[in-house]
Structure 1
Amino acid sequence: MRRIIAVIDTDIRFALKLSDFLSKEDRIPFKAVAYSSFHMYKSETSLMDVVAFITDIDNVDECIDTGLPVILLSDDAMVESKYSNLTKLFCSIFKFCGVHTIVDELLGFFSRNDSFGLTTVHNNTKVYGVYSPINRCGRSSLSVAIHSYFCSANTSSLLISFDEYDSVFSVLRKENSKDLSDIFYEYKTGDLDFAKLGECISRVEDLNIILPARYNEDLFYLSDNELTKFMNDILSANLFETIVLDFGSIGRRSMQMLDMCEQIFCPVIGEKDGVERKKVADFKALLGRNGYSEVIHKLCEIKSPGESISDDIFNFNRLKRHEFFSQISSLVDGA
């Protein structure tokens, strides 16, 4: 049976637009279906399992009577106070705020409730890694470009950066931005769920990005075994079809996570016999000595572009014009 969020509003155009946006929002693992009234919902929902209602004031009483979680789209604070003490499964959101604000409020509401009975929505999540032992080789830009490629192909994708610095992600960080530090803390305390994970995702265009940890030492907040378990738990949730990992400097530390990857794209600079390429050879030797020789076959070297793509990295229309992006597309298609 299909599991949905029912969006009920007498203004059916509003309901249709909101439900369409929510259905495309990767952070919410349910589809949304629009109805103009609770009566219409009752007559059409026999084959659907509703997990929550988003409704206007005209239909809120009927929705509350179902005992399911209800989010009221309200433009009146007095209305909210009338219902807010009735049940913990109720919250009110200002109807005319931005849709991204509505999503953030929904995720916060979901995280406070354990009654949604979440199940997975994607199967066999695939992991693609980006790592190089060479410094300043364009690794983070490459990870964004690969993530952009998956998103452009209508593949649900998440980029997680384990970098020590914001680098290209600095333009996305706001004063109240959440990042990998927050996720590690929630995970360590046992409070991480899909909603809290969603709250920590920064969005630009169609990209879903978990920003690097605020402080370098936070990368060691989880032990190596905990870090591996963290990634396995993220994968078992199956919220995304693909996950792109910008390994930062932890590639040497967490070879088990490298082994999870379908393919590991390794940006390189310098001549074949140069010092930079020797670092790659040394890393491959390290993998062999530590029993991860299979990972060597997953490494796919890619020459960093002579031109900088960092200025265009978060603008897909400009990014796809770069020859480097065509190279990335060919590599990913052949992975």
Structure 2
Amino acid sequence: MKNRMIAICDKEAAYAYNLVDYFNNKNNIFFSEAFTNEESIHEYAKERFIHILLVSDKMNIELINKKNIGLTILLSEQEAVLAGKTYKAIYKYQSAGNILKSIMNYYAEREDEPLSLLNKKCQIIGVYSPIKRSLKSSFCLALGQILAKEKAVLYLNMEEYSGFSTLFQKEYKADLSDVIYYLRQDKANLLVKLEGIVDSINNLDYIPPVSSPMDIREVKKEEWLKLFREVSANSKYETVIVDFGDGAEGLLELLSECNQIYVPIREDYLSNAKIEQFESLLDKAGYEVLKSNMKKIKLPYHNSFGSRECYAEQLVWSELGDYVRSVVR
């Protein structure tokens, strides 16, 4: 339930209302309303608390009642904003998605009471295989997009080399490393921080993976567990898909957090030997119970199709996508 407010105040009414529509569709923590003059926002703030005021730097902010405003952010028409001013500032003429991420990042840095969306029915799906080249990540992307048509899904890639920057042709301003760093600060608003970092594809939200293998290897088991449990217990997500690599500390204990574990396999002798070794490790380490949650899947190999830029989207309607639908049906 949205119980915190973003007020957008700009004399360009079309701009303000378009931003409100985008924010209300994309953000599950705050609801947004538009105002087009100082007087209307001043009167509104007399009676109600505004958690975030996003106001044009062309408006006279001194006319606005600030007693009932938590955080004020200026919408600046100049891309280079001078540092050291009284208020945070965001460049106005950029995508609504980038504006929303900047707002969430500013708000997450505040000392505030922790947010909780009280989602107690979140399912964690783990995907792991000791076999390389098993289409594990392609399966995760197809699975996530298919499930995201009906529910809120978060995809968490914990591989040392994800290839996402090349796959999606973008440079991420923040990634999983920033989420872990934020967790280490013991700050309250992890959910808001996530809103400022997650990207999406076909309604599937994902945290941009790390850019360096060392960032995965340096994360403690307890930090992964804290992230899993925080997102599972308090976020908007009904399903979290975790794409496990081999670099995470405490892999077997992390797999124990999953309600379902998919294990992509291949049928050659060496691949079978690796699966047997993995299952033997589970027995010796006292994690044999994991076998009851594991489902081995042999994924259909697909030929190259379409453009590289659309690879992830096209997975949904590929032979692999058809296989995924048969698995989750």
TM range (shorter): 0.7 to 0.9
SS class of match (1:97): coil
Partner Cα separation in structure 1 for residue 108 and residue 221 of structure 2: 27
- 1:302 and 2:327 are equivalent in the alignment: no
1:262 counterpart = 2:259: yes
Tell me, yes or no, if the aligned pair for 2:138 and 2:315 is still in contact at 8 Å. Answer: no
Q: Is the 8 A contact 1:2 1:49 kept in 2?
A: no
In 2, the alpha carbon distance for the partners of 1:324 and 1:114 equals 45
Give the Å deviation of 1:315: 5.4
Q: 1:283 aligns with which of 278, 283, 302?
A: 278
CA contact (8 A) 2:152 2:238 kept: yes
CA separation of 1:17 and 1:322: change in aligned 2, threshold 3 A: same
Q: Could you state the TM-score of these two structures normalised by the residue count of structure 1?
A: 0.79
1:185 aligned to 2:181? Answer: yes
Amino acid at match of 2:209: P
Hey, what does 2:16 align to over in structure 1? Answer: 15
What whole-Å deviation, never above 9, does each CA across 1:75-115 have from its counterpart, x for those lacking one?
3699x88x943xxxx32323222212312321332133224
- Report the CA distance between 1:245 and its aligned residue: 0.6
Q: Match for 1:114 among 96, 99, 111? A: 111
Instruction: Report the counterpart of residue 292 of structure 1 in structure 2.
Output: 287
Taking a change above 3 Å as real, the CA distance of residues 226 and 10 of structure 1, as seen in their structure-2 partners, is closer
Q: Distance in 2 between matches of 1:47 and 1:255?
A: 53
- Match status 1:4 vs 2:5: yes
Give the alignment of 1:1-335 within 5 angstroms.
2-26=3-27, 29-37=29-37, 50-56=50-56, 57-58=58-59, 60=61, 61-75=63-77, 84-85=85-86, 90-115=87-112, 117-121=113-117, 123-124=119-120, 125-153=122-150, 155-167=151-163, 170-172=166-168, 174=170, 177-190=173-186, 193-204=190-201, 206-250=203-247, 253-270=250-267, 274-308=269-303, 314=310, 318-333=314-329
- Cα distance in 2 for partners of 1:132, 1:54 equals 46
SS of residue matched to 1:64: coil
Letter in 1 for 2:207: I
Q: 1:136: how far off? A: 1.1
What is the CA-CA distance between 1:147 and the residue it aligns to?
1.7
Cα separation, partners in 2 of 1:144 and 1:181, compared to 1, 3 Å: same
Q: Is the 8 A contact 1:268 1:303 kept in 2?
A: yes
Displacement, 1:18? 0.8
Gap change, CA 1:59 and 1:283, over 3 Å in 2 = farther
Secondary structure of the corresponding residue to residue 152 of structure 1: coil
Q: Residue 212 of structure 1 aligns to which amino acid in structure 2?
A: P
RMSD: 3.6
**1:104-154 Cα distance to aligned partner (Å, 9 max, x none):** 321332133224x4422250232111111111101111111122123232x
Contact 2:138–2:312 (Cα < 8 Å) also in 1: no
Q: Aligned pair count?
A: 322
Q: Cα distance 1:200–1:35, how it changes in 2: closer, same or farther (>3 A)?
A: closer
Residue 321 to residue 4, structure 1, CA distance change in 2 (3 Å)? same
Residue 166 of structure 1 aligns to a residue whose secondary structure is coil
| Amino acid in structure 2 at the alignment position of 1:328 | V
Structure 2 spans left out of the alignment, 5+ residues? none
Q: Is the 8 A contact 1:2 1:47 kept in 2?
A: no
Q: Residue 23 of structure 1 contacts residue 31 of structure 1 at CA under 8 Å; is this kept in 2?
A: yes
| Maintained 8 Å contact 2:157/2:207 | yes
Q: Is the 8 A contact 2:126 2:260 kept in 1?
A: yes
Distance 2:247 2:315 in 1: 27
> Cα distance, 1:260 vs. partner?
1.6
Instruction: For 2:79 and 2:136, locate their aligned partners in 1 and report how far apart those are by CA, in whole Å.
Output: 48
2:156, 2:241 within 8 Å by CA — same for their partners in 1?
yes
Q: For 1:140 and 1:320, how far apart are their aligned partners in 2? A: 13
Deviation at 1:252, TM superposition (A): 8.8
The Cα of 1:39 is off from its aligned counterpart by: 5.8
- 2:129 match: secondary structure: coil
Mean CA deviation greater in 135-144 or 165-174: 165-174
> 1:273-303: per-residue Cα shift (whole Å, max 9, x none)?
x331342233233323333333212212222
Normalised by the size of structure 2, how large is the TM-score?
0.80
Task: Describe the shift of the 1:45–1:188 C-alpha distance in structure 2 as closer, same or farther (beyond 3 A).
Answer: closer
Aligned-residue offset at 1:306 = 2.0
Of all paired residues, the percent bearing the same amino acid is 21
